[in-house]
């Protein structure tokens, strides 16, 4: 991933472990990343899934296959979120082929491994012409730690454990869950890095949410084994099923920040303002409610001005995805005028 044609002697950033990946992300987040020539993954990451049971003899069961297909879907959607700012965009066959995961079944018949390194190369190639080098690095390394990192799965399991402990009414089951500990201080610190990156870049926020769905399906598939582990994290019998119960969302929440043109404004309801918007980046068109600043009403004023002048406007939008390329329950949470282009 070249950063400068004028400086060919810059060093590569070589990542050989999860710890190094987070060091790079922290430096990028803090603006302390040194100039570099290429991003290289060496020997890391791979995702290891261990399953033991009568059905696992150099084969993958339908249950596990469903989890892996959802994992693949997450990779596709994360790429679409990064490159097109459109998580549900239909990818070309060439793009899908380039990002297709390969699952290796190791000796012992219950040990599955997915290698990220070839996917990373394709991601860098595909995103290189769309984003600047630092954003490509943040995006690709974020995908690596979210989908393949041990800390990400530990944080996911800790989160699900806490949620299920609040949902369960049986005291014995609840105490059993509360006694389990998946995440440590290290995972908390790493989760903070990803949270900060997501707060500053809605693309990373979308990738984080998409990865959560993929993690849910992978963990759920681990229930098929008598014994199971993800990245060495043991899941006792019944634990995978318990932790993922009610975890699957009927919709995926996404951020759709960007520059839009207003197709139609509906001010007929004094309590709810609706707007039909058209994204100048993705070409998508959908309806959204306006969540206004109740003290000043400035968002509505910006929208009125944009409608009258037929000028684009910068919007921050929360939405849900129920199907391919269909956004619902969209809410505009912030509105800013787009500065005029200097002549």
C-alpha span between 22 and 13 (Å, rounded): 13
DSSP string, 154-212: HHHHHHHHHHHHHH---HHHHHHHHH-----HHHHHHHHHHHHHHHH-HHHHHHHHHHH
The two three-digit tokens of residue 325, written as one number: 């390329």
- Residue 339, SS3? coil
What is the per-residue pLDDT for 249? 63
Round to whole Å and give the CA distance between 67 and 50.
13
Element (H, E) at 106: strand 103-106
SS3 for 108? coil
DSSP-derived pairing of the beta strands 46-52 and 227-230: antiparallel
**Coil, helix or strand at residue 303:** helix
| 14: three-class secondary structure by DSSP | strand
Distance CA 191, CA 195 (A): 6
Q: Please give the DSSP secondary-structure letter assigned to residue 49.
A: E
Give the single-character DSSP code of 217: H
> Which token pair is 286?
């959908």
Within 10 angstroms of residue 320's Cβ, the number of other Cβ atoms is: 16
What residue ranges define each of the domains in the chain, with the CATH number in brackets?
13-250 (no CATH), 256-337 (2.40.50.140)
Distance of CA 267 to the CA centre of its chain: 35
Q: Within 10 A of 63 (CB to CB), how many other CB atoms are there?
A: 15
Contact between 127 and 82 under an 8 Å Cβ cutoff? The reply is: yes
CB 84 within 8 A of CB 206: no
As a whole number of angstroms, the distance between CA 78 and CA 139 comes to 9
Q: Which pLDDT score, from 0 to 100, does residue 1 have?
A: 46
| Ramachandran angles phi, psi of 56, nearest 5° | -105, 90
Running along the chain, 343 residues long, what does each successive block of 10 average in pLDDT?
A: 54 96 97 94 93 71 88 95 90 94 73 90 90 95 97 95 87 84 92 94 94 94 87 87 78 85 82 85 87 68 85 90 72 85 55
Q: What is the DSSP letter of 313?
A: E
148, two tokens: 């393949």
The structure's pTM equals: 0.82
Cβ atoms 200, 184 nearer than 8 A: no
Residue 299 and residue 343 in contact, taking contact as beta carbons nearer than 8 Å: no
């Amino acid at each position: 991933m070249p950063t400068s044609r004028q400086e060919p002697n810059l060093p590569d950033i070589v990542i050989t472990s999860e710890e190094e990946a987070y060091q790079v992300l922290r430096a990028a987040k803090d603006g302390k990343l040194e100039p570099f020539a290429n991003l290289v993954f060496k020997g890391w990451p791979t995702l290891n899934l261990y399953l033991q049971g009568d059905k696992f003899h150099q084969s993958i069961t339908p249950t596990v296959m469903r989890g892996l297909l959802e994992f693949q879907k997450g990779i596709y959607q994360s790429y679409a979120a990064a490159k097109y700012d459109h998580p549900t965009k239909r990818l070309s066959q060439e793009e899908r082929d380039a990002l297709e995961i390969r699952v290796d079944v190791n000796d012992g018949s219950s040990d599955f491994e997915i290698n990220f390194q070839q996917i990373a190369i394709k991601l860098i190639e595909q995103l290189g012409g769309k984003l600047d080098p630092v954003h490509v690095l943040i995006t690709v390394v974020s995908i690596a730690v979210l989908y393949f990192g041990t800390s990400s799965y530990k944080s996911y399991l800790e989160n699900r454990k806490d949620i299920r402990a609040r949902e369960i009414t049986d005291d014995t089951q609840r105490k059993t869950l509360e006694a389990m500990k998946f995440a440590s201080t290290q995972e908390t610190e790493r989760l903070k890095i990803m949270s900060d990156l997501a707060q500053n870049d809605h693309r990373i926020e979308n990738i984080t949410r998409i990865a959560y769905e993929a993690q849910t399906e992978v963990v759920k598939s681990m229930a098929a084994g008598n014994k199971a582990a993800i990245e060495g994290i043991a899941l006792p019998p019944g634990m995978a099923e318990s932790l993922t119960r009610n975890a699957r969302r009927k919709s995926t929440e996404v951020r759709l920040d960007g520059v839009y043109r207003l197709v139609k404004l509906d001010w007929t309801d004094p309590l709810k303002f609706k707007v039909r918007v058209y994204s100048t980046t993705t070409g998508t068109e959908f309806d959204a409610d306006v969540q206004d600043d109740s003290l000043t009403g400035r968002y509505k004023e910006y929208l009125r001005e944009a409608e009258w002048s037929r000028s684009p406007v910068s919007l921050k939008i929360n939405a849900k995805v129920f199907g391919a390329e269909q956004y619902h329950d969209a809410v505009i949470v912030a509105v800013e005028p787009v500065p005029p282009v200097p002549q």
